């Protein structure tokens, strides 16, 4: 079955500390992978995506993610977290193409303490 797992429901980090949010997927074909961020009461903003090529992708707001096929993972990282990064983060996988239906993980809520 196709699925996305975000093992960490809630993470708290100190401002300035590094961050890694985990994402594992189960998908039959080569997946298109995405990370989105959602602030309270808002829609989702695309942080970054991976389709092919270099397995380390850079996104907006200083985020990056690394695709590891052998581990079926696409973890999101940031070297130094800012208070404004507090939000919910969703990992998603899809087939790409014209009918790009996404499967979302359950999300990781990030809290940033001063």
Partner 1 sequence: GAVVSQHPSRVICKSGTSVKIECRSLDFQATTMFWYRQFPKKSLMLMATSNEGSKATYEQGVEKDKFLINHASLTLSTLTVTSAHPEDSSFYICSADLQGRETQYFGPGTRLLVL
* Binding to partner 1 in span 18-47, by CB under 8 A: 32, 34, 36, 41-46
Q: How far is the CB of 104 from partner 1 (least distance, A)?
A: 5
Of residues 28 and 43, the one with the C-beta less far from partner 1: 43
What are the start-end ranges of the H helices in 53-94? none
Backbone angles phi, psi at 71, to 5 degrees: -105, 0
* Binding to partner 1 in span 55-84, by CB under 8 A: none
Strands 108-113 and 10-14, sheet pairing? parallel
CA angle 10, 44, 76 (to 5 degrees): 50
Contact 17, 76 (CB under 8 A): no
Q: How far is the CB of 96 from partner 1 (least distance, A)?
A: 5
Contact residues: partner 1, CB under 8 A:
32, 34, 36, 41-46, 49, 51, 90, 94, 96-102, 104-107
């Amino acid at each position: 079955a196709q699925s996305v797992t975000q093992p960490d429901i809630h993470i708290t980090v100190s401002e300035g500390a590094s961050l890694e949010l985990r994402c594992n997927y189960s998908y039959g074909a080569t997946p298109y992978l995405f990370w989105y961020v959602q602030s309270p009461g808002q829609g989702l903003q695309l942080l970054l995506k991976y389709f092919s090529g270099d397995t380390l992708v850079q996104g907006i707001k200083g985020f990056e993610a690394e695709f590891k096929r052998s581990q079926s993972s696409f973890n999101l990282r940031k070297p130094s977290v800012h208070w404004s990064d507090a939000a919910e983060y969703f990992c998603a996988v899809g087939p790409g193409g014209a009918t790009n239906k996404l499967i979302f993980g359950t999300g990781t809520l990030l809290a940033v303490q001063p």
